[in-house]
Structure 1
Amino acid sequence: MTGTKTFPRIRSVGLDGALVTFADTMTEASNRAAIAFRNAVETLNWDGVIETSASLASTYLRFDPQVLPHEDVLERLTQMLERQDWYGAPLPKGRKLWHVPTVYGTDLAPQLDEAAYAAGLSPEEAIHRLSQSRVRVLTIGFAPGQPYLGPLGPEFNIPRQKELTPMVPRGALVLAISQFVLFAGPTPTGWRHVGQTGFQCFRPDHADSFSLDPGDEVIFTSVTRDEYDALQTDAMGGAVFEEITS
């Protein structure tokens, strides 16, 4: 494996959880491992596993210890880790590439200029680079269906704000530490609001209520304000997807 003597690491979490950690920081390889490992556990469909999730660099399992004892879980996970190099494992099949129309800047996303300055770029160059970036859904968290996406180029490794923005709307695309977050609902944030979309991350009235899954990829395509306004009659703000076949 491309891990270290410390990682991957298996730990118990409370009475009914196990955490497989692939690194202490998020990298492309550790995130790939977390997503691929979680998918492998899901595919095995063990009796007693209640839910799984993948974070930036870990896979979490919650299980019923009366059906699947702790020692069995740890043994199975250990055997899986030894089976292959998870840091180079292929990402799950069936992933989607989304194209999401996005207004950068304007009054809808008023911190684009500030973020561009922090990145050492003009607003025009920042929009060009951000709108051309193909980013991975690294994890879902903070709110139902809400994705963290990246990595962006190193120039966008800008810090969070020192103070909170009181509120950004649903569909806000915010930026910090070389990642995007696409907000599932109105919320305060310390991340800079650089783009606005009509995308719905969380649709509780659908069977698959989360629109995105870890491993999906997104391009936040730049559109004009008029184009954005015209797309708002569509439930997903004009977003479309295609299946990733490679």
Structure 2
Amino acid sequence: MRRFWPRRAQSREAAMTEDAPLSPELLPAGPDGIELRFARRPEPAAMAAVQVLAAEIAAAPPEGLRELVPGLVSVLLRLDPAAVAAVGPGLLARARAIAATRPALPAPTRRWTIPAAFGGAEGPDLAAVAARLGQSEAAAAAEICAAELRVLTIGFAPGQPYIGLLPEAWNLPRLPELTPSAPAGALVVAVRQLVLFGATSATGWRQVAQVAFRPFRPERAEPMPLRAGDAIRFAAAPADQIAALAGDPQGLGGARLEVLA
């Protein structure tokens, strides 16, 4: 069974909202696909429900499953076309049972620690973010590093992680205009989430740091090392250290992986 990045990253245009009752929906996704959606906005309870359902499906795949793609608030399955009708009702029933319990995020089985240079040229928007939070730049950076973060989904670009959730005070709006070019390794923030760019990209999010870790390298043995559900910690590092780590031919940039279970 193969896993790819989602066909869309559902966080990009919706602000983080307070939790509302979850109402799972079963949606068609072509002749060989089913999408199970827990909510229409990126609510924390929906994100947790997605990861619980995806873990259960991965542990006991239904007959005919070809691809499993967890998003922020939905799970996409690609199946043998003949299996779609048979899988749908059971999947919806399981999603409703999960939604009724409003589960917490499953315990992570892996944790990444990723060095990051905050502020200055490496995080040109950190000062503005800190001002909105009523904090110093150092305090804002420390809050990111202290947060219990997860890879919520991989999407928008190959290997690109959406990471969260930051404390509620970080429910910051996107910029009113796009920044034309943020560099590979930019760590950007909005709506209680962080995104780590694997390549240069335009963005409406605020860049607070720079890392040497690259979430996608096609020449690596594992091109996309991050997985939905991975725990993430950022470790503050000086800019010259990040610049030196950028020379890592594997693009891991000093990141360390711990297997927790």
TM over 0.5, shorter chain: yes
CA distance in 2, matches of 1:177, 1:119: 13
**SS of corresponding position for 2:128:** helix
Give the match for residue 120 of structure 1: 134
Give the drift of 1:141.
0.7
Give the drift of 1:75.
2.5
How large is the RMSD of aligned CA atoms in angstroms? 2.2
CA distance in 2, matches of 1:132, 1:92: 17
Give the match for residue 217 of structure 2: 203
Greater shift in the superposed pair: 122-131 or 227-236? 227-236
CA distance in 2, matches of 1:196, 1:47: 43
Show the 5 A alignment for 1:160-175: 160-175=174-189
Contact 1:138 1:215 (C-alpha < 8 Å) held by counterparts: yes
Residue 88 (1) aligns with residue 103 (2) = yes
Give the drift of 1:227.
2.5
Q: Under a length normalisation based on structure 1, what TM-score does the superposition of the two structures give?
A: 0.88
Contact 1:11 1:19 (C-alpha < 8 Å) held by counterparts: yes
CA distance in 1, matches of 2:184, 2:228: 20
Give the match for residue 14 of structure 1: 30
What one-letter code is carried by the residue in structure 2 that aligns with 1:87?
R
Give the match for residue 200 of structure 2: 186
**SS of corresponding position for 2:209:** strand
User: Could you give the per-residue CA deviations for residues 19-59 of structure 1, whole angstroms, max 9, x where no partner exists?
Assistant: 11222333333212111212222232334222111111111
Contact 1:37 1:86 (C-alpha < 8 Å) held by counterparts: no
**SS of corresponding position for 2:56:** helix
User: Could you give the per-residue CA deviations for residues 163-192 of structure 1, whole angstroms, max 9, x where no partner exists?
Assistant: 111111111100111110011111100101
- Relative to structure 1, is the Cα distance of residues 161 and 76 closer, same or farther in structure 2, using a 3 angstrom cutoff? same
Following TM superposition, the consecutive aligned residue runs of length 4 or more in structure 1 with deviations greater than 6 angstroms are none
Give the length in aligned residue pairs: 240
Residue 104 (1) aligns with residue 114 (2) = no
User: Could you give the per-residue CA deviations for residues 78-98 of structure 1, whole angstroms, max 9, x where no partner exists?
Assistant: 3433665663276276x3111
Give the drift of 1:139.
0.8
The gaps in structure 1 that reach 5 residues or longer are none
Give the drift of 1:205.
2.3
**SS of corresponding position for 1:149:** strand
**SS of corresponding position for 2:94:** helix
What one-letter code is carried by the residue in structure 1 that aligns with 2:145?
S
Give the match for residue 244 of structure 1: 260
Contact 1:36 1:86 (C-alpha < 8 Å) held by counterparts: no
Q: Under a length normalisation based on structure 2, what TM-score does the superposition of the two structures give?
A: 0.83
- Relative to structure 1, is the Cα distance of residues 92 and 130 closer, same or farther in structure 2, using a 3 angstrom cutoff? closer
Q: Sequence identity, in percent? A: 35
Give the drift of 1:237.
1.1
